[in-house]
Structure 1
Amino acid sequence: MYVATKGGERAIDAAHQWLAEERRGDPAVPELTVDQIREQMTLAVNRVMAEGSLYDPDLAALAIKQARGDLIEAVFLLRAYRTTLPRFGASEPVDTGEMRITRRISATFKDAPGGQILGPTFDYTHRLLDFKLMAEGETPTAQQKPSDPVDAPHILSLLDRDGLMEPLEQTDATPADLTREPMSMPADRPLRLQALARGDEGFVLSMAYSTQRGYGRTHAFVGELRIGTCDVEMFVPELGFAIEIGEIELTECETVNQFTGSKTQPPQFTRGYGLVMGQSERKAISVSLVDRALRWEELGEDNVGAPAQDTEFVLYHCDNIQATGFLEHIKLPHYVDFQSELELIRKIRRAAETPMQEAAE
């Protein structure tokens, strides 16, 4: 017979204490500090900030430490904290054209105006374990600061100038805020980009990969990928003008996609776009590919039934916090539900066994 396990508050407290011990690990090993995580695990910190919709490296590092390195749990912690913060206003649109660039590459033009800046990247490493890091550690080097703004126009503007690129959509409408309003369908492009930017990197990556393998109408080139810091400004009504309140690191990707034209659009290149907090180029590229796949209807293309073309499927399943909550809730007590299922199965079996026994007799 199945019975409910009893433990209550004492069992939960004991589980929390055990969790704290596991998080700390061997006391003989120096404790990992928040500063160390922030400075030496920056890509993990950037992912937590992006998917947590809160730009604060210190809090993201704290969340990673508290979550024992579980990045989705860290995102959950950061989002929960975010809901407690007051909102003083909205910033002005960020101008990525004025970005202090640390990395800027293009797969479409070799001699791009402003030059290509390789920056900090794994692209050219050998992917071999460096055992020196375990034996000797790393020798600190002078940190390279972002450069001053350079004349580095967005590369897609060159195609736009020649009339080969679809024109940018201009609108004065204020986009919906996904962090304050629930998702609703149909979702316009600003809302889709918000959802993708804070969606789970693995999910968005898999959707982007599917488009490259033929499950969607896109064949993309990275027109430009740029990483750097941008000034954030906020308009102050009492002053009558905007003031700088800080800076933020961003990764921006614009892809160039083939387009043979449709009933409503002439043959031209079309664009996909991705903008993500921090250095997160895999995520930014993925967002831009999925963004382009989701634009099939506005471009007059056919829907071939690819998962990445299904707006509801993509947007309702890309959020890792919602997915985690729905998935992990099944490990919580469902004793009553299971007892009813169990009794139903027993009843069905008894009903099925009676005719079988009568036939055997």
Structure 2
Amino acid sequence: MYVAVKGGEAAIDNAHRLLADRRRGDRSVPALTLDQIAGQLALGVDRVMSEGSLYDRRLAALAIKQARGDLIEAIFLVRAYRTTLPRFGYSEPIDTGEMLIERRISACFKDLPGGQLLGPTFDYTHRLFDPDLEGDPEIEAGERREPSAEPTTRIAAILGGEGLIEEDIDLPEQAAPGDINHTPVEFPMARAMRLQSLSRGDEGFLLALGYSTQRGYARSHPFTGEIRIGEVEVEFFVPELGFAVPLGRVQVTECQMVNQFKGSAKAPPQFTRGYGLVFGQSERKAMAMSLCDRALRAEELGEDIVAPPQDQEFVLSHCDNVQATGFVEHLKLPHYVDFQAELGLVRTMRAEYAARESVTQPDMQEAAE
């Protein structure tokens, strides 16, 4: 039972003022600007956009500043704002094959068509503190390479040419993929809607689940087929015009995992796919998403469901950090009546226990004599 709380407005106002004071920090230090956050804390901004399910770098930067760097609180702010926005329709499916690629790697083929593009990554850095960053060092700008606009062959297409990997599922042209914002959750959930949930799911939760699949808590032996980071064009079909018009470009990270499959009565031995796509540069999240996507396809592929990452209800009901935060943090709200009821029950049980002990102790003493 939740209890209505009266009064306390002055205390709450003071808490808000104290929060604002702590957010500002030392007044002798210049305040952070949104441009600084968006430009220098870009990976945090990308995560907030992805899990907040709203692509707007400035709003994500504002949310991070308001939340004092608490990314889950910032995601909550973005998600709440998103619910106030009008919906005009759905964009056309993006074509990641036409991506302006900034980074592209594969763990399957060294000499893949189009080459490996390392891009900005921590992969090859030493995990050592850089004391030069304590100040504001002038970074020597390297030769800037424009993102590649040339279509590059996918690893899946190379394997598909030999029939070694399952084919992409071709949806009917008018088929609607579903929308988790408009459709009540029902299990089993279609893959398109599962991917929507995973795309805005909590990175840490999905990372732990993805890791567990590699430790034996699902039948998984993955290879990173391809990771792409770059910009894609977003288009919107305007019925009055009869054609789609471009709205702009967004940065996304796409991951295709390649997994073994022993085959079945309907399909020969081949590789299967796990897929991840998120806003911004967030390949760890995209990789974890693709591992979980593959694990959740267990029933579809005729595999036994033996581990949590293969259980749709477990994964999809718990991966949303906004929902999880609300349910966990509601425990901070007043539960006075509930606790008093529990306290009375425990006191009654202890009294009954003491009464039983007072009866059985003399009997035990007599038996001993």
Does 1:317 pair with 2:318?
yes
Q: Which amino acid aligns with 2:185?
A: M
Does 1:112 pair with 2:103?
no
Q: TM-score, normalised by structure 2?
A: 0.93
Q: Find 1:292's aligned residue among 269, 294, 304.
A: 294
Q: TM-score, normalised by structure 1?
A: 0.95
Q: Find 1:265's aligned residue among 252, 264, 267.
A: 267
Q: Which runs of 5+ in 1 are unaligned?
A: none
Q: In 2, are the aligned partners of 1:235 and 1:241 still within 8 Å (CA)? A: yes
Percent identical among aligned pairs is: 62
Q: Distance in 2 between matches of 1:143 and 1:31?
A: 32
* TM-align CA RMSD: 1.7
User: Cα deviations across residues 210-244 of structure 1 (Å, max 9, x unaligned)?
Assistant: 01111111101111100000000111111111111
Q: Distance in 2 between matches of 1:139 and 1:324?
A: 39
Q: Structure 1 residues 11-20 or 173-182, which shifts more?
A: 173-182
Q: Distance in 1 between matches of 2:359 and 2:227?
A: 75
User: Could you say which residue in structure 2 is the equivalent of 1:327?
Assistant: 328
User: Residues 263 and 54 from structure 1, CA distance in 2 versus in 1: closer, same or farther, beyond 3 angstroms?
Assistant: same
Q: Which amino acid aligns with 1:293?
A: A
Q: Which amino acid aligns with 1:183?
A: V
Following superposition, the deviation at residue 181 of structure 1 comes to 2.7
Following superposition, the deviation at residue 146 of structure 1 comes to 4.5
Q: Which amino acid aligns with 2:168?
A: L
Does 1:32 pair with 2:25?
no
User: Residues 143 and 68 from structure 1, CA distance in 2 versus in 1: closer, same or farther, beyond 3 angstroms?
Assistant: farther
Q: Distance in 1 between matches of 2:252 and 2:292?
A: 19
User: Residues 6 and 89 from structure 1, CA distance in 2 versus in 1: closer, same or farther, beyond 3 angstroms?
Assistant: closer
Q: Distance in 1 between matches of 2:125 and 2:236?
A: 40
Q: Which amino acid aligns with 1:195?
A: S
Q: In the TM superposition, what are the counterparts of 1:247-258 in structure 2 within 5 Å? A: 247-258=249-260
Q: Find 1:275's aligned residue among 264, 273, 277.
A: 277
Q: Distance in 2 between matches of 1:353 and 1:17?
A: 51
Following superposition, the deviation at residue 299 of structure 1 comes to 1.1
User: Could you say which residue in structure 2 is the equivalent of 1:17?
Assistant: 17
Q: Which amino acid aligns with 1:79?
A: R
Q: Structure 1 residues 178-187 or 154-163, which shifts more?
A: 178-187
User: Residues 244 and 105 from structure 1, CA distance in 2 versus in 1: closer, same or farther, beyond 3 angstroms?
Assistant: same
* SS, match of residue 73 in structure 2: helix
Q: In the TM superposition, what are the counterparts of 1:198-237 in structure 2 within 5 Å? A: 198-237=200-239
Q: Distance in 1 between matches of 2:248 and 2:266?
A: 43
Following superposition, the deviation at residue 137 of structure 1 comes to 2.9
Does 1:127 pair with 2:127?
yes
Q: In 1, are the aligned partners of 2:257 and 2:291 still within 8 Å (CA)? A: yes
Following superposition, the deviation at residue 115 of structure 1 comes to 1.1
Q: In 1, are the aligned partners of 2:99 and 2:151 still within 8 Å (CA)? A: no
Following superposition, the deviation at residue 307 of structure 1 comes to 1.1
* SS, match of residue 230 in structure 2: strand
User: Cα deviations across residues 265-307 of structure 1 (Å, max 9, x unaligned)?
Assistant: 210111111111110000111111111111111111222x111
Does 1:352 pair with 2:336?
no
